[in-house]
Structure 1
Amino acid sequence: MTTNPSLPKRVIASLNSRSEARQWEQLIGNLLRRLELDPADRARAEADYEKLAERVADKLSLPRHDVHIFPQGSMRTQTTISQRHPVKFDLDLIVKLTGPKYDSPNPEVMFAAFGRALEGNESVTGTPEEKRRCWRLGYPGKPYYFDLTPAVRDQTGQAGSSLSVRDPDTRWAPSNPEEFADWFCTNANLRFPFQVAVRKSQIEARTTVTPLPDGEVALDDILRRAVQLMKLHRDTLYWGADENKKMAMPISVIIVTLATRAYADLLSSRAHEFTSPIEVVLEVVDAMPSYIERGQHGWRVENPALAGENFADKWNTDGGARRAEFMRWHGKLETDLEALLYQNARVPSEDKVRSVFGPAGLEAWKASRPKANVLDGLIASGMGASKTNPDRPVKTGSSNTLG
């Protein structure tokens, strides 16, 4: 009796038989590149949050060096991706407040005062909108909005926690966004033997305003590209879904954590089995559910940089809704990738492209469609696409902004 080969083996066998792995890698890489934040918009965003740091320090009557603002989440890990117009890019920022006033503050007083410090410039920033742990500034007319989380030195005493943020249920919540991002980036920067090793030294300025990471995400930056692909597919699947479905959709930090664990293990145990990035991506996707733990107290996806923090804690209090949605999304991702990659890279079905990458991805694919020779066209199409300025943000499925 023969067994059905796994999805990665089936798809790779098909791609190899058609000699199309490289074409698909170029097509997907260039498509994703077109959905990233434009470099000019990135520079404007950085200028805006530098001005914001000055304003917050002034309004809170703090020395400038006591307000340290830095990116977290997808901007820090370089995995941001746009869904579609009129959706904006979500820039997650931590604002660390220091000095005697913030050694042991009341979390509610601190949080409210920070919100007031954001007022008075609504024509530029929009009206501050309160969330559970952050304040949102919409920046009308610009393609991004800011989620600003005020933080102070750790108040919880939890091992591994470098910061504390206000939590309406627990007063203080431990946080370590920089350590989590460093864990992801360390793994993402590792390369398989088949790849050309390119190392770029990146020295981060130790100032009170940390610049956005601006290195280009290369086509062979496998883990970052895989995360972008997965987030885009998730956002496509849940676009237009009812609020109950959206509340239960897989959050970014779980996707990032599971994908990174799978990538690291493949590299440490099976590195020489792979010959192309697309093989690695398919194996990473296939392996992700195996890193979800089930113990005495329920489902766990532990923060690798903060022992004891369970990213899947809500899976254990919702009657199984979030666990079910994760598995539904994961199964759909595998099905859609297989259907897509069985297509001819020169003339893939638009419906198949849309199923994985959504309407924005389809438009990006059309914009980068080869004119004559598929490889020449794909390579030539990788340079900047025109951008539109969306008007409003939408929920991206994660209240935890680490990912």
Structure 2
Amino acid sequence: MSTTKSADLVNYAELARPTRLTKSLESFTALREGFITNDRDRRLKYSHWAQALNEANLHITVREEEIGAAANAYQEVAEHLAANLSWPPEAVSILTQGSVSTKTLIRSPNGGEKFDIDAVCQVDISRIEATNPMGFFESIGRALEDLKAQAKRRCWNIPFTGRPFYLEFTPSVPLDSVPTQILNSMAPRYRASRYERTALAVVDTPTSSWKTSNPAGMSKWVDDTAQRSLILVATLEAYAADRAKASVAPVPDQTVVITDTLRVAIRLFKRHRDICVRRGIIEAASKPISIIIVTLLTTCYEGLADLNRSFEHPVELLDELAALMPHLILKLDGKYRVDNPTVEGENFAEKWNDDDGERYRSFMIWCETLSADLKTILALTDPQEISKRVREVFGIPAPSGGGNGLPTIQPPAPRATPASSGLA
């Protein structure tokens, strides 16, 4: 029977990974030996971990009013471009991409540090002269000079002084509108492979050429995958009922809660990575980039769904995603790969192959630290100890406001798993 690529990766990872944390801990003896016999008792067993992890997730959420302010900034930039380039307003549209569009944006643990908002400037190429990729890219930069825009590889960074965010702003044209002569000049191995209708042509400044990109496709992939439920239906229904009875303030509709386990995993794991940098466990320059974390976790979740795996509780699924994630890295012909699922040939881990393995080592150290931290959380049974440990691991201030959010423990950095051929 044929399987999907994601399912194949998960099958390999299940063979390579250690025992699932929640199934190997002493605190789960009662579950394994049948002393807990009904769904209510099982949910109570998990409830303290779920509550503490969900509180951490809510704490790192960027407030809705901050997102709204950023949305206003998109329109400001669009109007700025239309005015400075004498383009018709209807020729320019600004669309969110990345963590904002997938509801996985998190705030920095470093106080007032800005968060980044990724956006694409989608231009109607039938109205604009864009046959020269560098000319197109640089014309955008000149139009944004008074916004202090700074050029990066494929985008312009707009700092927005005095606001809590900055924009990463990528000029693009819809791929299906690109003339044949431009399409033929693009790198042939970079073709849209999923969600083709949302694919874009963006400027790759190091090569001065057009390349395929599909941020909307990536967001749709995360959204579609997150909607595939891996939690037993009875558990989800009971969890919702328990929340309705809880004596806590209702969660706003736009907030992601722990039953949306893929998005919560992306948020919490990104936060844990940032705390590992803060602890000095990994270096900021070599920390795993968010797109790699998102791709690996979504691939893992998709593969589990394709294999019809199911879990009794979101905490179990979070544990499984953490355990499998490091074993989903491909190594082909001596090169690390994390493939873009929407653009054939694009490797998100390309830089891993040009730094003597530093980024790979940082990734593995982070993954092992994440598993070790989750193990200590899941080994606890006292609600207050669980809450305290979760705050330490994810850099959350104490509820009283007296804490400073800094972790109070410094576990030793684990040794990185050595590189190997084939799947690593």
* Structure 2 length-normalised TM: 0.73
Looking at structure 2, the residues matched to 28 and 349 of structure 1 have their Cα atoms a distance apart, in angstroms, of 9
The one-character-per-residue Cα deviations of 1:16-43 (angstroms, maximum 9, x if unpaired) are 7794412221221122112212112222
**How far 1:197 sits from its partner (Å)?**
7.3
What's the counterpart of residue 24 of structure 2? 10
Match of 1:362 in 2: 397
- Identify if the C-alpha distance between structure 1 residues 280 and 56 changes in structure 2 by more than 3 Å, giving closer, same or farther: same
2:302 matched to 1:264? yes
Paired with 1:322 and 1:191, the residues of 2 have a C-alpha distance of: 32
Deviation at residue 107 of structure 1 after TM alignment:
2.4
Between the aligned partners of 1:103 and 1:25, the Cα distance in structure 2 is 54
Deviations 1:175-233 (A, max 9, x none): 111111111110011112524479xxxxxxxxxxxxxxx83323310000000010000
Q: Secondary structure at the match of 1:74?
A: coil
Displacement of 1:13 in angstroms is 4.5
Q: Shift of residue 322 of structure 1?
A: 1.1
SS in 2 for 1:302: coil
Task: Name the amino acid aligned to 2:272.
Answer: H
Counterpart selection for 1:340 from 361, 377, 380 = 377
Q: Which residue of 1 aligns with 2:289?
A: 251
Q: Does 1:304 align with 2:341?
A: yes
Amino acid in structure 2 at the alignment position of 1:97: V
1:284 matches 2:309: no
Query: Is 1:96 aligned to residue 122 of structure 2?
Result: yes
Instruction: Tell me which residue corresponds to 1:59.
Output: 84
Q: Which moved more, 1:98-107 or 1:43-52?
A: 98-107
User: Per-residue deviation at 1:287?
Assistant: 0.8
TM-score, normalised to structure 1, is 0.77
Q: Which has the higher contact order (CA 8 A, sep 6+)?
A: 1
Aligned to 1:149: 170
Shift of 1:319: 1.1
> 1:335 offset after TM fit, Å?
0.5
CA distance in 1, matches of 2:356, 2:231: 44
Task: Name the CA distance, whole Å, in 1 between partners of 2:52 and 2:137.
Answer: 45
Q: Secondary structure at the match of 2:384?
A: coil
Q: Does 1:37 align with 2:55?
A: no
220-229 vs 170-179, which moves further: 170-179
Task: Indicate if the aligned counterparts of 1:163 and 1:174 stay in contact, CA closer than 8 A.
Answer: yes
Greater shift in the superposed pair: 276-285 or 166-175? 166-175
Look up the match of 1:399: none
1-structure distance, mates of 2:49, 2:388: 16
Seen in structure 2, the aligned counterparts of structure 1 residues 264 and 366 have a Cα distance that, compared at 3 Å, is farther
Partner of 1:234: 273
Q: 1:14 deviation in Å?
A: 3.9
1:110 and 2:136 aligned = yes
1:180 aligns with 2:218: yes
Most deviating of 229-238 and 333-342? 333-342
Contact 2:105 2:267 in 1 (8 A): yes
Contact 1:72 1:178 in 2 (8 A): yes
Q: 1:269: how far off? A: 2.3
Residues 1:250 and 1:20: Cα distance change in structure 2 (over 3 Å): same
Distance 1:13 1:267 in 2: 27
Residues in 1 aligned to 2:30 and 2:113: alpha-carbon distance in whole angstroms: 37
CA 1:119–1:341 in structure 2 vs 1: closer, same or farther (change >3 Å)? Answer: same
8 Å CA contact retained: 1:102, 1:152: no
In structure 2, the gaps of 5 or more residues are: 1-17, 32-41, 176-182, 239-252, 404-424
> Is this contact kept in 1: 2:191–2:212, CA < 8 A?
no
User: Quick one: which amino acid aligns to residue 132 of structure 2?
Assistant: N
Instruction: Give, in whole Å, the separation in 2 of the partners of 1:76 and 1:11.
Output: 37
| AA aligned opposite 1:235 | D
Cα shift at 1:355: 4.5
Aligned equivalents of 1:237 and 1:22: distance in 2? 26
Counterpart for residue 49 of structure 2: 24
Distance 1:197 1:307, change over 3 A: farther
Instruction: Tell me the amino acid that sits aligned with residue 43 of structure 1.
Output: G
Per-residue deviation, residues 111-167 of structure 1 (Å, max 9, x unmatched): 2221222233x5xxxx22222222222222322221111112444254217222222
Mark the CA change 1:345 to 1:264 in structure 2 (over 3 Å): closer, same or farther: farther
Tell me the CA shift for residue 315 of structure 1.
1.6
Counterpart of 1:210 in structure 2 is: none
Matched to 1:342, the amino acid is A
Shift of 1:103: 5.6
Quick one: distance in 2 between partners of 1:81 and 1:248? 19
SS of residue in 2 equivalent to 1:141 = coil
Matched, 1:140 2:166: no
Q: Cα 1:159–1:115, aligned 2, differ >3 Å: closer, same or farther?
A: same
1:131 maps to 2:157:
no
Q: Report the counterpart of residue 367 of structure 2 in structure 1.
A: 330
Distance 2:271 2:223 in 1: 20
**Aligned-residue offset at 1:350:** 7.6
- The CA deviation string for residues 377-399 of structure 1, in whole angstroms up to 9 with x for no partner, is xxxxxxxxxxxxxxxxxxxxxxx
Cα distance change, pair 119–104 in 1 and its aligned pair in 2 (3 A): closer
How many Å separate the matches in 2 of 1:134 and 1:15? 52
The DSSP-based 3-state class of the residue aligned with 1:186 is: helix
Query: Which amino acid is 1:164 matched to?
Result: A
Return closer, same or farther for 1:11/1:73 CA change in 2, 3 Å cut-off.
farther
Equivalent pair of 1:45/1:144 in contact (CA under 8 Å): yes
